[in-house]
Amino acid sequence: MRAKRLHLLRTWRPRSLRGRRALHRARATPVGGRAVRTGQGSNPAGCRSNPCPQAARRCRPRAARLRTAYDGQGAGVLPSPTRVADPATARTPGPVPRTTGDAVGGRYVLLDVVGTGGMGTVHRAWDLQDQRLVAVKSVRHADDPSLTRFAREQSLGVDHPHVAAPGGWVGTPGGGAFAVGLATGGTLHDLLAELGPLAPRVVVDLLDQILAGLEALHAAGVVHRDVKPANLLLDASPGGRPHVYVADLGVAGLLGDPAPVGEGPGTPGYAAPEQLAGAAPDVRQDLHAVGVVGLELLGLVSAGGSLEPAPGAPDRLVDLLLACACDDPAARPPTADLVRDALTRCGPYPPSPYPVVPDRLGPVEVPVPVARRRLT
């Protein structure tokens, strides 16, 4: 193949001035240590002194193919569009190299599966456009009823450091896929299953981040309606302050939407009673779930039964969480920012270290684009 390209390069002459100049630049560098004859000598002025009267458009496609086939070093082998970075210098070293040939929609390179659910499969992927790791969620079939939830989730577009809202969107055969920020520390459910009840200071910090994310959603007119530990993602941390994301907006509702027909969405045990009964979206429904999550983190309640409370939990903190989890929506705090303010007044809290959130996904090797040198 290389010999054939070199033969064509030596024998073919473009008719236009632009094409001849492009060809001259491609031949200017020796190939394999030997100069390539151009038919006009080694002086580029030979081409400029004999302009071709034919239209330049006839040579553009051929000149473009030459630029693609030959890099700035004059090599006759078409370079690969991507290469896998050396493990020592890659951003995220690991054992799974990928190339752009695996890209979904020409943008997301799927690396490995990190979860499955009712809406489809979640992959860890490399975003070729933004050059970062993301989580890509895909719908299995175009006629799947969850496609409606899928479209609603990707259309919300809330940008906040504590909300894992969908970003880019691409179409796939028979469905679609969209990307959210990648959280490597698993979920709050995983952390609670491993460590049990958490210290009050840690619980208040986590709740403040959750409420900050919900406050941003509520300001955009969105009610999450499925706040629970399994939908609260964590970044891996070696012992510092854990970072929480409110995720999975698939059943989110908009303020002002009519009440659903029949039973409402949500997870029993966390969803407010009026929500499960089919009430219209209301921000106090999310605050009910936050209260239940806070009590569960302290060890006061759990989905599986009662647990011993964590030592040192102030009574004012417990009373605030019980008020949030009240069955009567009128007895709950009206907004997330008021709950955040109340959390700061429930202290002081005994000092305690932050828990270690491990990296549950492990290392992975990401594709790094090869920079091509343009012919000038």
Would you give the distance in Å from CA 94 to the centre of its chain? 19
Q: How many CA atoms lie within 13 A of 192 on its CB side?
A: 26
Query: Do 241 and 199 form a contact (C-beta atoms < 8 A)?
Result: no
Do the strands 82-84 and 103-104 form a parallel or antiparallel pair, or are they unpaired?
unpaired
Around Cβ 184, how many Cβ atoms within 10 Å? 20
Residue that is written with structure tokens 């009712």 in the block:
118
Cβ-defined contacts of 266-274 (< 8 Å, 24+): 266/225, 266/226, 267/226, 267/228, 269/303, 270/226, 270/227, 270/228, 271/225, 271/226, 272/327, 272/329, 273/327, 274/329
**Dist CA 103 CA 123 (whole Å):** 12
**Dist CA 285 CA 274 (whole Å):** 8
- Enumerate the active-site residues: 226
Q: What is the pLDDT of residue 219?
A: 93
Q: Report yes or no on whether pTM surpasses 0.75.
A: no
Q: What is the pLDDT of residue 171?
A: 75
105-181: CATH superfamily: Phosphorylase Kinase; domain 1 (3.30.200.20)
pLDDT in tens, the chain (376 residues): 556 555 555 666 666 766 666 655 655 544 444 444 444 444 444 444 444 444 444 555 554 554 444 444 333 333 333 333 333 333 333 333 444 446 888 888 889 888 776 566 888 999 888 888 999 887 766 555 555 665 666 566 678 899 987 777 777 776 778 888 889 999 999 999 999 899 999 999 999 999 999 999 999 999 999 999 999 999 998 878 899 999 988 788 888 888 776 677 889 999 999 999 989 999 999 999 999 999 999 988 755 455 556 667 888 999 999 999 999 999 999 999 999 999 999 988 888 899 999 999 888 887 765 444 444 4
Residue 112 phi, psi (nearest 5): -160, 165
**Dist CA 41 CA 43 (whole Å):** 6
Q: Which residues pair with 116 in a beta bridge?
A: 121
Helix, strand, coil tally for the chain in percent (to 5): 35, 15, 50
Structure tokens at 255: 């303020």
Output the CATH code of domain 186-345: 1.10.510.10
- The amino acid occupying position 123 is H
Structure tokens at 145: 């009823």
Would you give the distance in Å from CA 223 to the centre of its chain? 21
Query: Do 292 and 264 form a contact (C-beta atoms < 8 A)?
Result: no
Residue 83 phi, psi (nearest 5): -140, 155
Query: Do 131 and 368 form a contact (C-beta atoms < 8 A)?
Result: no
Query: Do 174 and 216 form a contact (C-beta atoms < 8 A)?
Result: no
**Dist CA 211 CA 286 (whole Å):** 9
* Residues 6+ away with beta carbon under 8 Å from 308: 197, 299
Query: Do 214 and 246 form a contact (C-beta atoms < 8 A)?
Result: yes
Do the strands 108-117 and 132-138 form a parallel or antiparallel pair, or are they unpaired?
unpaired
Parse the chain into domains and list their residue ranges: 105-181, 186-345
SS3 312: coil
Structure tokens at 324: 């949030």
Residue that is written with structure tokens 């179409």 in the block:
171
Structure tokens at 376: 């000038």
